Amino acid sequence: MPVAKVTDIAFGRLQSPDLDQAEEFLLAFGFVRSARTKDTLYMRGTDPAPYLHVTHLGEPKFIGFAYYARSEEDLDRLSQVEGASKVEPIDAPGGGKRVRLRDPHGFQIEVVHGMEMPAPLPVRRNVLNWGPEKLRRVGELTRLPPEPAQVKRMGHGVIATTDLPRTLGWYRETFGLICSAGMPLGLSGVCITKGSAAGAMSTIFEIRLAPCRVR
């Protein structure tokens, strides 16, 4: 039995030496600013989540991912895992609580619960001719505005590993992730895992890489 069963991926956490440049890129990508402090940038999508992407000021670095817990009791159980933090409040938009852990590669993995979800943002929708109303757009041209596509939600994250069985075992045993697909790729292997929420098709995508050799 896993320690807990996460329901979905929540957000990614990174570092950048220039928050202005990071925000410019993320806005062009289709994110919306949720909040910004002197050393942290929070960006969201159109779905009702406080943020999907967190950037801290610092040397370029990937810090880790966060997942949603089913309950605060799951956070209590995860806090008992070796090396895990205590259950602690989240000082960020939406609040809530979290537990921080380290995966086999040293990445920080957070599990969060109790965040206050904001209202969804308006989504642009094109009128379609389909079903019983095939002539709804007769004479009208569809033209996409020259602007970023809207980011909706975070669907999956990618972690490269040189030890797929160990890494996959840790995520399964700790968070209850399920291997929904697997395939060999030459010297490498791939496993797609998912959380327990309906529609959480790909929560994390893990790749096993062959060790690099210099000849």
Token pair for 9: 């991926």
Question: Rounded to whole angstroms, what are the CA distances from 12 to 64, 87, 149, 204?
Answer: 6, 19, 20, 12
Query: What gap in Å lies between CA 53 and CA 23, rounded to an integer?
Result: 10
CA atoms within 13 A on the CB side of 190: 10
| pTM across the whole model | 0.83
Query: What gap in Å lies between CA 196 and CA 70, rounded to an integer?
Result: 9
Residuewise pLDDT in 10s, the chain (215 residues): 899 999 889 999 999 999 999 999 999 999 999 999 999 999 999 999 999 999 999 999 999 999 999 999 999 999 999 999 999 999 999 999 999 999 998 999 999 999 999 999 999 877 777 777 777 777 777 777 788 989 999 888 888 888 888 888 899 899 988 777 666 554 344 444 555 554 444 455 555 554 434 33
CATH 3.10.180.10 correct for 8-116+154-208: yes
CB 35 within 8 A of CB 42: yes
Render 53-98 in DSSP notation, one character per residue: EEEEESSSEEEEEEEE-S-HHHHHHHTTSTTPPPPEE--STT--EE
* Residue 78 dihedral angles phi and psi, to the nearest 5°: -65, -30
Q: Where are the domains of the chain?
A: 8-116+154-208
**Residue tagged 């806005």 (tokens):** 27
